[in-house]
Structure 1
């Protein structure tokens, strides 16, 4: 009982700290097994079991492999660890999957069966917004209800109102961003465009966009190229930002940007072939 409480306490703390981990839960056992249904363990990205227990070496290797895969693609898995003769009766080989179940061979003398649910718990995706323009403010307000961890970076002197953000950075220098999928939007709109864009290129991200016209981006591109910024980095910036919805107001422009960000975030997660 104490181990279970420790596991759930750690789960709460890791979630609050926006740290990635896997929660593995034994959901079924047959015959003799070291761990019983309900046993849980917290597995960190480096493969260490931070709390709890789900059995010895009979289960550990298969579960850790599933944990790594789950953290990589964000998908939960059900792992069924069975004796070789039972796998043969089912017509599956160790490592194969069927109907959402990943099968593994139990190498232990007990020859029991364990089904373990492996659930990745990932930090909220990070939306980093440079600037305090009306579009930036609207984007921050729209993003949080959709599950984004919002960081707004802007010099304090440029702010006319407090944005709806999880983190507010004075200036464009970003440090200590939490480890998650990251999406960046530069929405300075005339106040520090060049400095903000240069800072955005220095941060690892899955998506970068600039709120402004193609002509404005082309002008900034030439300036930054003259400062030895790589052309390939500048080419990775989507400009103008957002899907063409015919948007006019700041709120509509923010909606078009967030729609584009969501498309990138969910790419490959729907339909046939989704991971």
Structure 2
């Protein structure tokens, strides 16, 4: 396909191209560790500006990427995305005039709207929580094997040497496995414990672990932090080879993850843009210079569309 024709094709299929761009953004957000909601338009009934396959993202920090509909759909999307993040479960959202819904799948959240377009949308909202962040410190065969195994689970894995390790690599949800084999164990553990990650484990025998604990205490390590140190790291599987040790550590981490040990608390931030409730249809409306409004006495009312404004003006007996 020639470049001019390709450009024209992209223009015609603009919604699809934009949708793939949102997926690329989703991958970047997942790698960064930020929770978000991925929204996809799975059905539409014309006339509506939202297209089937259109996608948007709402992050826990209140950022929006992509586009799934116009001024009527966006405030509802934000509100429901926040609820989806808080619940941590996906949902199907139906937007439009109530007489356009038809038979909806069980569990669908229906939101009646009275937009001028009179179209309808069904949007799938999927919460995305970051995969565990595993930092393995060491260059032993066990460390390499553990890195490879955890990567197969799509975890975010960083394999670093003791000299490359720093507290800046960690977050409160990070997992740290120290496998430096006696080469600066105490220094790495001291830094890791100060960062207070979700898990710190040392690959060593119980006897070696007690020696390391004693040295950390002598160096002034906090007792509460030391109590979180797991030595030896991993489940007791009676393992002997470095591959079996790696399996035992990953097994323990998978078990802890299933128990919610590494889950980050999600507290989504609402956007800073002020909102109001349309007094006619009850929709949430963003207050901005382009908003449809009507001044009645000393009060300003905002509407999702001109139709609601006209209806309210007629009701109030104002122009």
Q: TM-score range by the shorter chain?
A: 0.7 to 0.9
Shift of 1:192: 0.9
Report Cα offsets for 1:115-172 as digits up to 9, x if no partner.
21112445443210112233222212222222122212214xxxxxxxxxxxxxx432
Q: 1:145 maps to which residue?
A: 152
The question of 1:117 aligning with 2:124 is answered yes
SS at match of 1:255: helix
On the 8 A contact 2:92/2:107 being kept in 1, the answer is: yes
Q: 2:198 maps to which residue?
A: 206
On the 8 A contact 1:59/1:106 being kept in 2, the answer is: no
Structure 1 residues 10 and 109 mapped into 2: Cα distance closer, same or farther (>3 Å)? Answer: closer
The root-mean-square deviation of aligned C-alpha atoms, in Å, is 3.4
Q: 1:55 maps to which residue?
A: 69
Shift of 1:107: 4.5
Structure index of larger Rg: 2
Q: Map 1:177-188 to 2 at 5 A.
A: 181-188=173-180
Structure 1 residues 128 and 44 mapped into 2: Cα distance closer, same or farther (>3 Å)? Answer: same
Report Cα offsets for 1:199-253 as digits up to 9, x if no partner.
2213353322121233332332233233332222221222221111111111101
Q: 2:17 maps to which residue?
A: 5
The question of 1:196 aligning with 2:208 is answered no
Structure 1 residues 232 and 58 mapped into 2: Cα distance closer, same or farther (>3 Å)? Answer: farther
Number of corresponding residues: 244
TM-score by length of 2: 0.63
Partners of 1:4 and 1:85 in 2: CA distance: 29
Shift of 1:257: 0.4
Partners of 2:79 and 2:215 in 1: CA distance: 47
On the 8 A contact 2:95/2:121 being kept in 1, the answer is: yes
The question of 1:131 aligning with 2:138 is answered yes
The question of 1:38 aligning with 2:53 is answered yes
On the 8 A contact 1:7/1:42 being kept in 2, the answer is: no
The question of 1:23 aligning with 2:23 is answered no
Q: 2:258 maps to which residue?
A: 266
Unpaired runs of 5+ residues, structure 2, are 1-12, 262-319
The question of 1:226 aligning with 2:218 is answered yes
On the 8 A contact 1:33/1:113 being kept in 2, the answer is: yes
Structure 1 residues 66 and 124 mapped into 2: Cα distance closer, same or farther (>3 Å)? Answer: same
